[in-house]
Amino acid sequence: MQALTNVMSRCVNESFYGTIAARTSLYTELFSRALQTAQDAQLVVYPFEGQGWETTLEQAAKACGVATLPYLHTVMKPWDLRAHTALRECPPRGIWVHGSHDEAELSRHGTALHRVEALRYQYLGNARATSEPARAGHQVLVILGADCERSRAEMHSFCEAVRRLQPSWQLRVRLHPQCSIDLISQVNADLLSSGSLSDDLEQCSASFLCGTAAPLDSYLFGLPTVALQSSDGFNMNPLEADDRFAYADSVDHAVQWLTDALGLRGVKPDIAKFFDIAVGLPRWNRLISSLHR
């Protein structure tokens, strides 16, 4: 009950006393004006994220008589009440999903579901097919989430544990693009990533996730991945613990788990459990072709 109370309190603070209400009002006005300006528009294609603004876009499009084509931007979580509420408040005629996981999660709403390839995770198909890169030594990729302050705090705690426990591997830190680099000014510049996520995954051997960092990139790439157990019991993670993924009770536990996991050789997780990927995006091509008929 206390965990639920904490989550509800946080939602109230973010919704009513934060920026969400003002942002939603601004989106409503912007979407309405954009559709009124684009008088010849017949279709709006947008990434569905379940963050509330989708409802305002659907309402604006309906008022202007414009069809919509929402496609799921990332993986759905069972407890993601905002996304499920958006689908019930103003359901689109259909939603394009990326695989069997999301199809099963959204089927109860009665909205027509269509399968297309996962644009966000398409790169994994080619990346995983390459041979193992030559590494001078193991590197652990520390990935920060969009919750900048919490991610920064977890990163510093983890880095401190690494300095104290002195494992044999090195660190590489990847900042979330929505966060200021000033948040991690204490981190040695040599440790900071300046390349793409796919480059980082190829050059590293394992991953530590901070805050709400999405787990599926490193996990499906085949890297052992660990995250701290969320204190309120809720996080952005759809994964269950296995030999490639773990929830750690502390940063010391995370360091030890990574050290042990780096010595294992296991089968890479099956991408198809979460996402449809295919060379040439045939499902997307068929969808786009159908729109021209």
What is the span of the domain harbouring residue 116? 2-121+277-291
The answer to whether residue 146 is domain-embedded is yes
Range in 35-44, 117-126, 235-244 with the lowest mean pLDDT: 235-244
Average pLDDT over residues 189-214: 89
Cα 80 to Cα 234: distance, rounded to the nearest angstrom: 10
What CATH number corresponds to the domain at position 57? 3.40.50
Do residue 114 and residue 162 come from a single domain?
no
The answer to whether residue 236 is domain-embedded is yes
Give the other-Cβ count within 10 Å of 104's Cβ. Answer: 13
7 has pLDDT over 80: no
Do residue 34 and residue 147 come from a single domain?
no
Regarding predicted confidence, which is higher, 9 or 167?
A: 167
Do residue 77 and residue 184 come from a single domain?
no
Answer yes or no: are the C-beta atoms of 255 and 162 closer than 8 Å. Answer: yes
5 has pLDDT over 50: yes
Cα 166 to Cα 256: distance, rounded to the nearest angstrom: 10
Q: Which of 61-65, 180-184, 246-250 is modeled with the greatest confidence? A: 246-250
What CATH number corresponds to the domain at position 222? 3.40.50.2000
Do residue 143 and residue 259 come from a single domain?
yes
**What would the pLDDT profile of 18-29 be if each residue is shown by its tens digit?**
455 666 777 778
Site of tokens 């040599």: 190
pLDDT at 183: 63
Give the other-Cβ count within 10 Å of 37's Cβ. Answer: 8
Query: Per-residue confidence at 293, pLDDT binned at 50, 70, 90?
Result: low
Per the structure, the count of domains in the chain is 2
pLDDT at 265: 72
Give the other-Cβ count within 10 Å of 213's Cβ. Answer: 26
> Quick one: which of 75, 31, 12, 44 has its CA closest to 214?
75
The answer to whether residue 127 is domain-embedded is no
164 has pLDDT over 50: yes
Give whole-number Cα distances, 143 to 77, 133, 196, 202, 212, in Å.
20, 20, 12, 14, 9
Do residue 35 and residue 83 come from a single domain?
yes
Do residue 281 and residue 246 come from a single domain?
no
The answer to whether residue 126 is domain-embedded is no
**What would the pLDDT profile of 228-273 be if each residue is shown by its tens digit?**
987 665 555 678 888 899 999 999 999 999 999 998 776 788 899 8
Do residue 152 and residue 240 come from a single domain?
yes
Chain centre to alpha carbon of residue 236: 7
Do residue 163 and residue 89 come from a single domain?
no
- Give kind and range of the element (H or E) at residue 134: none
* Burial class of residue 101 in the structure, from the number of CB atoms within 10 Å of its CB (0-12 exposed, 13-18 middle, 19+ buried): middle
